[in-house]
Structure 1
Amino acid sequence: MQANRGKVLTGVLAAAMTFSFVLSGCGNSGSNEGNANNQGSTNEATNNGNAGEKPAEKVTIEFWAQKFEDTTDAWFKKWTDEFNKSQDNVQVKLTIVPGDAWTQKLKAAQAAGKAPDVMTRNYSGIAPGAKNGEIMALNDYMDPAVFDDLYDNVKEFITVDGKYYAYPKLVEPSAVLYYRKDLFEAAGLDPEKPPVTWAEFIEYGKKLTQKGIFGASIAQTAPDLGWSSWGLQYNAAGHLPITDDWSKADVMDDKYKELLNFYATLYKEGIIPKQQLSAYADAAPFGQGKLAMTVSGSWSIGLFRNDYKDMLDKIGVAPMPSIDGDQTKPTATLGGWTLVIDGKSKKPEAAAQYIQYLLAGDPAIMIDFFKTSQFSKFSPRKSVDEAMNQDPAASADEWRKLIAEKVIPYAKAEPAYPWDISIAFATAIESAMKGESVDKALATAEKTINDFIAKSKLAGTNPQ
């Protein structure tokens, strides 16, 4: 995303995690594009908008989208207008809701029985929303072929008890490595061979650290580590720090010790600054020349291309290094946004018709979105990627190609458990980074997580 990503993520994550805590509540929303299915043209997508007949009477559906970038707002408006022009019997009223007002506005609408028919929601809110009846299964309202078009790992994000409860618009990997090719050369490193293991990342970081420039940056505070390290938790141990049934902590793993030691070494050796230069989501310090390497999300591509154009030929992009160099293991989680139908909507056929047009129809609609995002966001649909490989601008974008092929296929979904679990483990990472023994940090996390599970009666409530 752009430079305001940190602020947006803070609000988004807070809303998303609040949602998860109570296993109820308001959805989330996002704004990125989405559409493209196997039907091949806008007209076809319009005429075949759902698996059944189009509504016989003219209806108006309400669609609420949370505000992100202005380009995303404009994209929603443009294609909603196109949908409305193409329809005789369905019209969509689009409302862009500021992120800081989203939760209150949606809860008030739900309480008054006036919730929007369609809304944006992030992946972590799908399973809890489905379990609580807040969102509606789409299987009976959309062509099954549009779900076959999704990548398998993304399809899992929207599936609950064998049914699809959302249609995804985009994915954004949480961890990508950006590095300065010119500084690699100056340090005697091959700019075409970025580090692939954690040990190499540390080694390169030492060589790249010089007066006025740190060798690397990565999340350093618990709030940032809470979500940015999920992919590395999977990478290290193959699991998250809680059992699948959410009955107890699962942190006492030698591989987690390696993870904490990785962060601690970066800090102790002075490879990363003692005080984090900016929020993890904001890669501006790298663009400003203060860092030789930085780990950030795919949204930073948009920042670099918009604000640091003179640096682009010096920037290399690679997957985040893996614990052992196996880059088919996850190093990132995939955040992103979907469209869902409210569980009490009286117009599900019309709502599904719109969703299918916008996110699952003509690939050109989604390509339009990804171009406006500077290819910093990625498609969950195979047909859109296939179409982008034929598009001159998209096919020539090496950064897009690398992330689409080497990061996204191996990434995991963000966890649906309460934020308290994530922050407990993140606190252990930060504590170890700043000098506490790894064993003590993990023991504290284990107790904190188990206490929270007992207090919240979390055991057995995993909705997935």
Structure 2
Amino acid sequence: MHKRRNRIAAVLAASVSTALALTACGGGGGGGGQTADGKTEVIFWQQQFEDYQQAWFKEHVDAFNKSQDEVVVKHQVVPADTWEQKMQTAQAAGKQPDVMTSNYGDIVPGSREGRFLPLDEFLPEEAFTDIKDNVAGFVTVDGEHMAYPMLVEPSTVLYYRTDLVEAAGLDPDSPPTDWDGLIEWAEKLTDGDVKGFTIASTAPDLAWSSWGLQQNACGSFPVNDDWSEATATDPCYAELANFYKTLFEEGLIPQQPKVGYADGAPYGDGEVAMMAGGSWVVGQLKNDYPDMVEKTQVAPFPSIDGDQTKTTATLGGWTLTLDAKSKNPEAAASFIEYLLAGDPEIMADFFKTSGFSKYTVRTSVDEALASDPEASDDPFMAVISEKVVPYGEAEPAYPWDISLAMGTAIESAMKGVTDVDSALQTANDQINDVIKKQKLEGKAPSN
């Protein structure tokens, strides 16, 4: 599981009762069987997410089954912290599921390893043309669609307290658009125990949460196009490191944060006036801090030069994939088409159920939501879906070790452990070492 997705595991995978129920059920998957009434059985494994998602999947699996005369989907929820072990065990025994949830970061390596079956021959062409242009590449490997996308979650959105902004003499309807403006706001909003801003400040969080800002500063990640050489010493990365360094050295962000970047609690608890956070924080605020919602506005995260059409957020998210060894790929693909690529009202229902904390990947679903009063009235959806998502980039497909090298460099520089140039040189050397040891040259994905 991708490192960022561990936030889901940490919060949700501790459901002991679910784990025991799965153990009791046995059954490792493996489609191809027939039910007692002669229907073709498709096994679907879903990684455990928020409770509302389990209920949503169950509702629509049941609806699919009721609509079918010849196919039945058997739905199994697997806790995130046991997912990889259970999958490896099932694959070794030839009992892997026909359909499974897969995050974007797994699509390229899974395809290279031959784990997924392309969907192109099973789904109609319009299913793929409906996918937004900046998302289509996330699931395309060597010209084939290896997964069907379900949602995106922007990694970086600016949240701010309108009451504190007004008290500081700032205009909440004119949030900062560049890094200098953000620093100015953070200075004016820092007051006593309340810091002006919060953003990631530890290497593991910086490793992934800074992806969008790496793109913003440099237009690329810190490796060249064919993954043959590191580029972490390019001057633009020094500008990024100095941005974080200014925030930390001037005391504009918490010096010892109590929680990681993925958790919006410091903002919800009133410890900070502004926050860089993923779109999932919308759901956290609505569920855990409802009083904070009415005094919160969101905006695209400021750009290095004020250009709000430049990427500031990567788009993480989930897909459904078809196992390469499925014995009934057509039946399995028919379920993927029904759930994710069919009637746009099905996925529109998902986004409403999520409290509009996750965002659509299909044009037709956008259109369905546009005519929904609840979606139109949501205080956050329009900004994130119209001003953040369209400019988001895919998360990098290279090994996590490269991201961690950059995260470590940024933390070292921002906290003064070493100077910026030395920190980036160390990262550059480490990335080149990863490239050499893992033989990455020439393995960059092409869409």
Q: What is the TM-score of this pair, normalised by structure 2? A: 0.91
**Structure 1 residue 86, shift from structure 2 partner:** 0.6
Q: Which residue of 2 aligns with 1:84?
A: 65
Report if the CA contact (8 A) 2:297-2:379 is conserved.
Answer: no
Question: Matches of 1:276 and 1:127 in 2, distance apart?
Answer: 34
- Provide the C-alpha distance between the structure 2 equivalents of 1:231 and 1:115, rounded to a whole number of angstroms: 34
1:460 aligned to 2:446? no
Do 1:257 and 1:439's aligned partners in 2 also have CA atoms closer than 8 Å? yes
Where does residue 378 of structure 1 map in the other structure?
359
Query: Is the alpha carbon distance of 1:172 and 1:454 closer, same or farther for their aligned partners in structure 2, counting shifts above 3 Å?
Result: same
Which secondary structure does the structure 1 equivalent of 2:72 belong to? strand
Shift of 1:9: 6.1
What is the 5 A alignment of 1:50-449? 58-435=39-416, 436-449=418-431
Tell me by how many angstroms 1:363 deviates: 1.5
Is the contact made by 1:226 and 1:426 (CA closer than 8 Å) also made in structure 2?
A: yes
1:45-88 Cα shifts (integer Å, max 9, x gaps)? xxxxxxxxxxxx73010000000101000000000000000100
- How big is the shift at 1:316? 1.0
Aligned residue for 1:278, secondary structure, equals: coil
How many angstroms apart in 2 are the aligned matches of 1:9 and 1:426? 21
Once residues 267 and 148 of structure 1 are traced to their aligned partners in structure 2, the CA distance between those partners, rounded to angstroms, is: 45
Cα shift at 1:7: 3.2
Q: CA separation of 1:236/1:367 partners in 2, compared to 1, >3 Å: closer, same or farther?
A: same
Distance (Å, rounded) in 2 between the aligned partners of 1:197 and 1:291: 20
2 CA distance for matches of 1:6 and 1:281?
A: 10
Q: 1:283 to 1:11 in 2, by over 3 A?
A: closer
Equivalent-residue separation in structure 2 for 1:104 and 1:369 (angstroms): 28
Give per-residue Cα distances to partners, 1:263-296, cap 9 Å, x unaligned: 0000000000111231100001101111000000
Contact 1:62 1:117 in 2 (8 A): yes
Three-state SS of the structure 2 residue aligned to 1:334 is strand
How many residues end up aligned between the 2 structures?
A: 417
Q: Distance in 1 between matches of 2:423 and 2:70?
A: 60
Task: Show CA shifts across 1:411-448 (max 9, x none).
Answer: 00011110000000111100000112111011110111
In 2, are the aligned partners of 1:175 and 1:296 still within 8 Å (CA)?
Answer: yes
Contact 1:5/1:282, CA 8 A, preserved across alignment: no
Conserved 8 A contact 1:251-1:445? yes
Show CA shifts across 1:155-203 (max 9, x none): 0101111110110110000000000011111111111111110001111
Aligned residue type for 2:362: R
Question: Match for 1:425: what amino acid?
Answer: M
Instruction: Check whether the contact 2:118–2:145 (CA below 8 A) recurs between aligned residues.
Output: yes
Q: CA deviation at 1:10?
A: 6.3
Contact 1:11 1:100 in 2 (8 A): no
Distance of aligned partners of 1:194 and 1:230 in 2 relative to their CA distance in 1, 3 Å threshold: same
State the SS of the aligned residue for 1:194.
coil
Task: Name the amino acid aligned to 2:304.
Answer: I
Q: CA 1:244 to 1:9, structure 2 compared with 1: closer, same or farther past 3 Å?
A: farther
Secondary structure, counterpart of 1:385 in structure 2: helix
When residues 397 and 5 of structure 1 are mapped into structure 2, their CA distance, relative to the original with a 3 A threshold, is farther
Q: Cα deviation per residue 1:331-368 (whole Å; 9 max; x = unaligned)?
A: 00000000000011111100110000000111211121
For 2:57 and 2:147, the matched residues in 1 are separated by 17
By relative contact order (CA 8 Å, sep 6+), the higher-ranking structure is 1
2: CA distance, partners of 1:283 / 1:197: 22
Q: Counterpart in 1 of 2:8? A: 8
Query: What secondary structure, in the 3-state scheme, does the structure 1 residue paired with 2:176 have?
Result: coil
CA distance in 2, matches of 1:11, 1:407: 26
Amino acid at match of 2:295: K
Secondary structure in 1 aligned to 2:75? strand
Deviation at 1:463, TM superposition (A): 3.3
Aligned match of 1:30: none
Question: 1:10 and 1:408 mapped to 2: Cα distance?
Answer: 26
Ranges in structure 1 where 5+ consecutive residues have no aligned partner: 13-56
In the TM superposition, what is the alpha-carbon distance from 1:299 to its structure 2 partner? 0.3
1:18 alignment partner in structure 2: none
Q: AA paired with 1:156?
A: G
Residue 439 of structure 1 aligns with an amino acid whose one-letter code is D
Q: Percent identity?
A: 59
Structure 2 counterpart of 1:345, one-letter code: S
Matches of 2:346 and 2:422, distance apart in 1: 52
* Deviation (angstroms), 1:455: 1.7
Amino acid at match of 1:130: S
